[in-house]
Amino acid sequence: GIQVEQSPPDLILQEGANSTLRCNFSDSVNNLQWFHQNPWGQLINLFYIPSGTKQNGRLSATTVATERYSLLYISSSQTTDSGVYFCAVIYNTDKLIFGTGTRLQVFP
């Protein structure tokens, strides 16, 4: 089956710093989503981005489907950005296959 790997697994930042999270997938996919999971477990939709680039405030994402990777950029990070970031892909069927996650901690 398809493999979805994220890097780095852990990231510690000071407030105001920028960061780039990466998602690599091993096969062609139909869809790709980025989520932020808060400490209470809620999966918050960040981007639905099977290809191209999107921006939403301090966050932006780029998916290069032909090269099988996606990047999530966080600028001017805030403590509320802390949590786990997942990318998830849909390939072959309707199910989402989640990556390994990146745990982000932002300190004041």
Partner 1 sequence: ETGVTQSPTHLIKTRGQQVTLRCSSQSGHNTVSWYQQALGQGPQFIFQYYREEENGRGNFPPRFSGLQFPNYSSELNVNALELDDSALYLCASRIPGGGELFFGEGSRLTVL
Which residues lie near partner 1 (CB under 8 A)?
A: 30-31, 33, 35, 40-43, 45, 48, 50, 86, 88, 90, 93-101
Shortest reach from residue 104's CB to partner 1, in Å: 15
Shortest reach from residue 45's CB to partner 1, in Å: 6
DSSP3 helix / strand / coil % (the chain, rounded to 5):
5, 60, 35
In this structure, what are the phi and psi dihedrals at residue 67, rounded to the nearest 5 degrees?
A: -105, 5
Please list the residues that pair with 82 across neighbouring strands: none
Give 25 or 86: the residue with its C-beta nearer to partner 1. Answer: 86
In this structure, what are the phi and psi dihedrals at residue 82, rounded to the nearest 5 degrees?
A: -60, 150
My answer on whether omega of the bond before 9 falls inside 30° of 0, hence cis, is no
Shortest reach from residue 46's CB to partner 1, in Å: 11
Give 68 or 103: the residue with its C-beta nearer to partner 1. Answer: 103
Give 29 or 106: the residue with its C-beta nearer to partner 1. Answer: 29
